[in-house]
């Protein structure tokens, strides 16, 4: 039986980055990934903040293009053009991005087992046993001193091991379409476009557009409605079977650690609740996890008491972002299309764009949300938001 210090279940960005950091610290690390290829069939807009590459020492080769200008469109077609003082984000090839993280992990000494579906995890007094196997893969058993669950929206092992799961989810739908060059990154908002959240159109390589949405219900139907409304000339050539569907975790998770186990990334609810993006928070929490796990390794114990430092640290880092963003998005989802049109008019006249330019940060949004709520005039549908966001701000501070 192969034995490791740490077994990471899941080969997405958070799991791979944790594996790299732990292997770099000298631990023997296994990554068990059920896909046969890292980064394949990922449902993601591919937008990340510019700072992510320097902060986490990730090669910038996967970058397709930078984003400085964003177009925001309401359900009626009313539009706003926002230009940030500099490029604030970029579009990446997610397959290349994930594979760059995998190469870093391998170079540091981590073993990555592809096509390895974890069927069960058993926690013992002296270690962990991981049982794997599939329809076309032989059954294998790995042993480790502890396990990191980075399984995305698959919470089967969380529940089996007595750990928390996100109590709220959105549903994402995405596909790529052909389009003429020159399209700007666009956000669509409105109850008749993407109830509960928003939609997007992101240009990737020349002539291709990544079109998608996040919604609270019926993502496939709302995706087709989005195409009919804004890209009707593409309907005849579009294949509905190309739409990819994904659940997206929302909100804080009650418990992300136990004896010999922690959860990480979307499995732990470490997702931006405004947009559903999980790459930055996952990488940040991977760094926190690696520090705590390494400390426990040096102390010779992976007990729940020692691993509890992980939950304390990641909550201190991003709990405010998750709670404020989650509340703001849920309140915004109640706005009618007419109220959103009034908001568009307000943004054009009330100095809000300069505030966004001055305060906006792609991965840290709670401060801007609080400031925006304070600036909005006391219209009936804004007053409750402003009061409650202020309350959250005072509570979390």
Task: Give counts: helices (H), strands (E), the chain.
Answer: 11, 18
Query: Alpha helix (H) ranges present in the chain?
Result: 13-24, 52-55, 94-108, 156-160, 219-230, 279-299, 304-332, 337-349, 352-359, 366-375, 380-396
Q: Which of 97, 150, 153 is nearest to 121 (CA)?
A: 150
d(CA 173, CA 156): 23
Neighbours of 394 (CB within 10 A): 9
pLDDT of residue 92: 93
Question: From edge to edge, which strands make up the β-sheet containing 79-83?
Answer: 79-83, 69-74, 185-189, 198-203, 208-215, 168-178, 244-250
Please list, in sequence order, all residues whose beta carbon lies within 8 angstroms of the beta carbon of residue 52, skipping any fewer than 6 positions away. 58, 279, 280, 283, 363
Could you give the domains of the chain? 2-46+93-167+251-318 (3.50.50.60), 169-248 (3.30.9.10), 334-396 (no CATH)
Statement: residue 362 has pLDDT above 60? yes
* Average pLDDT along the chain: 87
Q: What angle do CA 201, 207, 208 make, to 5 degrees?
A: 40
pLDDT of residue 351: 66
Q: Span 283-297, mean pLDDT? A: 98
Please list, in sequence order, all residues whose beta carbon lies within 8 angstroms of the beta carbon of residue 244, skipping any fewer than 6 positions away. 41, 43, 173, 174, 175
**pLDDT tier at 382, thresholds 50, 70, 90:** very low
Q: Which residues pair with 48 in a beta bridge?
A: 90
Q: Which of 203, 145, 189 is nearest to 29 (CA)?
A: 145
Q: Span 101-122, mean pLDDT? A: 95
Range 40-56 burial, b when 16+ CB lie within 10 A, else e: eebbbbbbbbbebbeeb
Q: Which of 107, 54, 152, 134 is nearest to 363 (CA)?
A: 54
pLDDT of residue 378: 37
Statement: residue 42 has pLDDT above 60? yes
pLDDT of residue 134: 64
**pLDDT tier at 349, thresholds 50, 70, 90:** low
Q: What is the DSSP letter of 273?
A: T
Q: Which of 299, 298, 306, 322 is nearest to 262 (CA)?
A: 306
**pLDDT tier at 8, thresholds 50, 70, 90:** very high
pLDDT of residue 30: 97
Dump pLDDT digits (tens) for 52-99: 999 999 999 999 989 988 999 999 989 888 888 888 899 999 999 999
pLDDT of residue 341: 86
Dump pLDDT digits (tens) for 167-209: 889 999 999 998 876 678 899 999 999 998 999 999 888 788 8
pTM as predicted: 0.90
Please list, in sequence order, all residues whose beta carbon lies within 8 angstroms of the beta carbon of residue 226, skipping any fewer than 6 positions away. 188, 193, 194, 199, 211, 213
Phi, then psi, of 117 in degrees rounded to 5: -90, 120
**92, two tokens:** 């990446």
**109, two tokens:** 């000494």
Q: Which residues pair with 49 in a beta bridge?
A: 89
pLDDT of residue 137: 67
Please list, in sequence order, all residues whose beta carbon lies within 8 angstroms of the beta carbon of residue 206, skipping any fewer than 6 positions away. 181
Dump pLDDT digits (tens) for 306-347: 999 999 999 999 998 998 888 888 888 888 888 888 888 777
Give percent above pLDDT 90 in the chain.
58
């Amino acid at each position: 039986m192969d034995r490791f210090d740490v077994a990471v279940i899941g080969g997405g960005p958070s799991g791979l980055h944790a594996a790299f950091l732990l292997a770099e610290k000298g631990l023997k690390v296994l990554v068990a990934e059920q896909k046969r290829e890292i980064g394949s069939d990922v449902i993601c807009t591919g937008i990340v903040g510019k700072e992510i590459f320097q902060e986490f020492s990730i090669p910038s080769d996967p970058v397709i293009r930078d984003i400085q200008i964003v177009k925001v469109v309401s359900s009626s077609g009313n539009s706003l053009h926002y230009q940030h003082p500099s490029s604030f984000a970029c579009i990446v090839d997610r397959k290349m991005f994930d594979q760059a993280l995998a190469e870093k992990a391998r170079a540091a000494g981590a073993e990555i087992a592809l096509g390895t579906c974890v069927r069960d995890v058993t926690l013992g007094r002296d270690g962990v046993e991981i049982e794997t196997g599939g329809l076309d893969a032989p059954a294998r058993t790995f042993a480790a001193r502890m396990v990191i669950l980075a399984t995305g929206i698959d919470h089967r092992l969380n529940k089996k091991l007595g750990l928390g799961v996100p109590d709220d989810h959105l549903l994402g739908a995405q596909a790529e379409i052909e389009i003429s060059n020159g399209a700007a990154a666009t956000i669509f908002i409105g109850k008749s476009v993407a109830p509960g959240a928003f939609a997007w159109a992101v240009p990737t390589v020349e002539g291709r557009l990544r079109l998608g949405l996040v919604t609270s219900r019926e993502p496939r139907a709302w995706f087709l409605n989005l195409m009919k409304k804004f890209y009707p000339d593409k309907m005849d050539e579009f294949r509905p079977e190309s739409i990819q569907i994904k659940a997206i975790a929302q909100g804080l998770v009650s418990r992300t650690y136990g004896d010999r186990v922690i959860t990480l990334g979307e499995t732990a609810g470490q997702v931006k609740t405004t947009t559903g993006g999980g790459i930055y928070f996952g990488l940040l929490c991977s760094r926190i996890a690696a520090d705590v796990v390494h400390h426990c390794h040096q102390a010779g114990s992976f007990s729940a008491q020692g691993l509890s430092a992980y939950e304390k640290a990641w909550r201190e880092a991003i709990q405010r972002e998750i709670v404020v963003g989650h509340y703001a998005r849920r309140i915004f989802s109640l706005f009618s299309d007419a109220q959103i049109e009034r908001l568009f008019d307000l943004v054009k006249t009330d100095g809000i764009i300069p505030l966004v330019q001055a305060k906006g940060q792609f991965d840290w949004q709670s401060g801007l949300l609080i400031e925006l709520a304070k600036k909005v005039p006391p219209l009936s549908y804004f007053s409750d938001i402003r009061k409650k966001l202020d309350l959250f701000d005072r509570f979390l501070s």
